[in-house]
Structure 1
Amino acid sequence: WSLGLIILASLVVGRLVRAGEFVAEVAISAMLVLGVTQVASTAWDRVLETLIGAVVGLLFNFLLAPPVWVGTAGRSVEDLARRMRQLLLRMGEGLTDPIPVERAASRLHEARRLDDDIGEVDAALRQAEDSVRFNPRVKEGPLHRVVLRTGLDTLEICTVVLRVLARTLTDLAKERTGEPLFTPELGTALEDLLARVADAVVSFAVLVAAEVSSNAETAERRLAEDLAAALVSRDRLAGLLLEGVRRHPRQWQLHGALLAEIDRILDELDMERRAGRLLEELDRAAREQRERHPRTAAFRQWARRALPRRQRR
């Protein structure tokens, strides 16, 4: 019962001092201290060793600043977008010719393998997030984390939609063996739209990486141009699809699915949508920070209010 009480008390103390993921280590330290004969001296030795380790770690980080992996994470996001672009371009090849089901299915398998690439980029982002946390070289660590994380979330949604798009083309190839998937005019329009969507995906990734550097304005302008061109091509394809379905209503639902999936990708890449998502994530991060450290947040708020009065004096 004494061991149970010391574990319970240690967990409560860990919560009160907001030890976070190290709450369990507080209880472990308490059990180690309880298990030895010289309790008082061992407890003080444990505290002293902890303080020495903390001071050494802080001095090491100030004298030899740890590396920042934000740039590497940004490049990994761009690499993912370029792989998505290559897949979109391959999906747009030969749409006016008979496409073997095996070739269409291979595009579907490539789209499914993008999940592995998402996992690699996520690991790079976690490394970048750890490198900016409590790093004296980084002044806007939370902003970098939110920008990269929301960018990866958007690309992950796009990969899911891209996988569905590849599945729709595979179903069309199964239904139309030995004949072209689309008429020459319709196939050319769809190939052009897929190419413009591919360019927009890369421009979005460049914008995500540029928002943590100095080239954000150029990247934003390029993304706006690519999205505008894609929307024009999309409207042209929608008219051609409608006319084609009226003349030949075979598999009309698959034609509508193609257009809906492309619309979803363009909607995810929209800049206003991204700006709103960034603001939401930044507000949520600030709110969590205030809830986690209410006294620090109250002191900062008081300091911001007191600073103008001092300046006026």
Structure 2
Amino acid sequence: MRRVSHRTIAAEARSVGRAARRAVTVAGPERAAVVQALKAAGAALVAWAIAGWWWNAPMALLAPWTALVLVQSTVYRSVRSAVQQFVVVAAGTFVAAAAAAVTRDVMASMAIALPVTVLLGIWSRFGDQGWYAPTAALFVLTYGSYAPAEIGHRLLETLLGAVIGVLVNAFVLPPVHTDDVRRLRTRVPTEGAELLGDVADGIERGYEAADAEEWHARALRLGATVAELRAARRHSDESRRLNPGRRMRRPAPAPPPGDLAWSRVADHVAATLRLLAETARETPRFRAPAEEALSALAVLLRSAGQVCAADADRFATGDADEERAGRALGEARAAGDRLAELLGDPRRGASASLGELTAATTRLLDDLEAIAAPNLSRATAG
């Protein structure tokens, strides 16, 4: 047990060391985290310098505490959280002060104020900031600081910290998040191309149930990557709202949206590979497609993978062989037509599984064509 614990600690230390080196040597999430941490610390120092050192305010702690927590991952989130926090702190303070004024007893005041402020804290409108309402009420009641002047100081210093936190986040290296979008937008078609190529190779050499199940699991992971891309896109869009960094830092623009189309592509790939897995089981749910249909499917999937690879190159390097992508899309369409012909001829191996494969791959090619069409049109025009 001790040796396992030592290995775990050593591995964690190496991981921390690698993250620290990346923060120093390359731009990325590690460096962004360090920058935000330093900004939060700096905002707290500025707030304390004003409230504690210059003003010598009686509730000076509230200013740096508020400034610290409001240097968040986006400027919009800082502004929104500042409004939420000020509202809930004010509400918690006034509820606690009113309860204390009525009861003149700390225990009785808590019995009145805490249920109200906790309910306020879990209201979804206030998000993560809601719990500052019961926290503020506890501070008021336990320290007996509910005189009008003390309430005024509490709110003023909270407002000061909120303003400083927002200003520091907005004007000191304001965060604009596009790197994750670009990385994931390239990763999705890359993973799709690798998966479709592997499936085509497996169909041609012959596959077993375990192979098909693994392909289907990879298709589901592709869908999860698309979900990550959509979340990163939302975070990127949020980071541009209310953010002067759009003009100050001129970050690389995020790739144009195509997330919904890629979500559909991932769904169609998963449907196709789920069907292959179901027909390869020891007790298959459907009869496997005929050999001729599988050959056409292999051509279709390999060509579709080449279209995906061209899209990955386009976003990774800005350069893709559009003519090759157009030929690949044409070959995939021809293979899809072949599947449709086999489906229409009962003597050539038509089956329920072939019908589902034809429908899923037709949808797959439609969405891939929608993704690639603008670039293919420009290549043709050129």
Tell me if both proteins adopt one fold, taking TM over 0.5 as the criterion.
yes
Instruction: Give per-residue Cα distances to partners, 1:215-253, cap 9 Å, x unaligned.
Output: 7xx99x88995896367335422344236642334xx11
Q: Using the aligned pairs only, state the percent identity.
A: 24
Asked which structure has the greater CA Rg, the reply is 2
Residue number among 335, 339, 345 corresponding to 1:238 in the alignment: 339
Contact 1:87/1:110 (8 A) holds in 2: yes
Quote the RMSD (CA, aligned, Å): 4.7
Structure 2 Cα separation of the partners of residues 176 and 226 of structure 1:
39
| AA in 2 matched with 1:54 | A
Conserved? CA contact 2:297–2:336, under 8 Å: no
Whether the 8 Å CA contact 1:204–1:223 is kept in 2: the answer is: no
| 3-state SS, counterpart of residue 207 of structure 2 | coil
Distance in 1 of aligned mates of 2:282 and 2:346: 15
Aligned to 2:272: 165
Residues 93, 222 of structure 1: alpha-carbon distance in 2 compared, 3 angstrom cutoff: same
- Contact 1:11–1:26 under 8 Å retained in 2: no
2:50 aligned residue: none
SS in structure 1 at match of 2:246: coil
Q: How does 1:207-218 map to 2 (within 5 A)?
A: none
In 2: Cα distance, 1:173 partner to 1:6 partner: 60
By relative contact order (CA 8 Å, sep 6+), the higher-ranking structure is: 1
Letter in 2 for 1:45: H
Query: What secondary structure is seen at the aligned counterpart in 2 of 1:95?
Result: helix
Alpha-carbon distance in 2 for matches of 1:176, 1:223: 41
| Matches of 2:327 and 2:127, distance apart in 1 | 44
| 2:342–2:349 Cα contact (<8 Å) kept | no
Residue 51 of structure 1 is matched in structure 2 by 159
Is 1:155 matched up with 2:262?
A: yes
Aligned length: 253
Instruction: Check conservation: 1:168, 1:254, Cα contact below 8 A.
Output: yes
**TM-score in terms of structure 1 length:** 0.60
**2:343 alignment partner AA:** L
TM-score norm. by structure 2 comes to 0.51
Report the counterpart of residue 352 of structure 2 in structure 1. Answer: 253
CA distance change for structure 1 residues 28 and 113 in 2, over 3 Å: closer, same or farther? same
Report whether the alignment pairs 1:69 with 2:170.
no
The aligned residue for residue 242 of structure 2 is 134
CA distance in 2, matches of 1:28, 1:118: 39
Q: Which runs of 5+ in 1 are unaligned?
A: 273-313
Q: Deviations over 1:41-62 (max 9, x none)?
A: 3322322222222232233234
1:33 aligns with 2:136: no
Instruction: Spell out, residue by residue over 1:155-196, the C-alpha distance to the aligned partner (whole angstroms, 9 max, x if none).
Output: 34433332221122233444899xx96546x44432232133
CA distance in 1, matches of 2:268, 2:223: 12
Amino acid corresponding to residue 348 of structure 2 in structure 1: R
What is the deviation of 1:258? 0.8
Answer whether contact 2:342 2:348 (CA < 8 A) is retained.
Answer: no
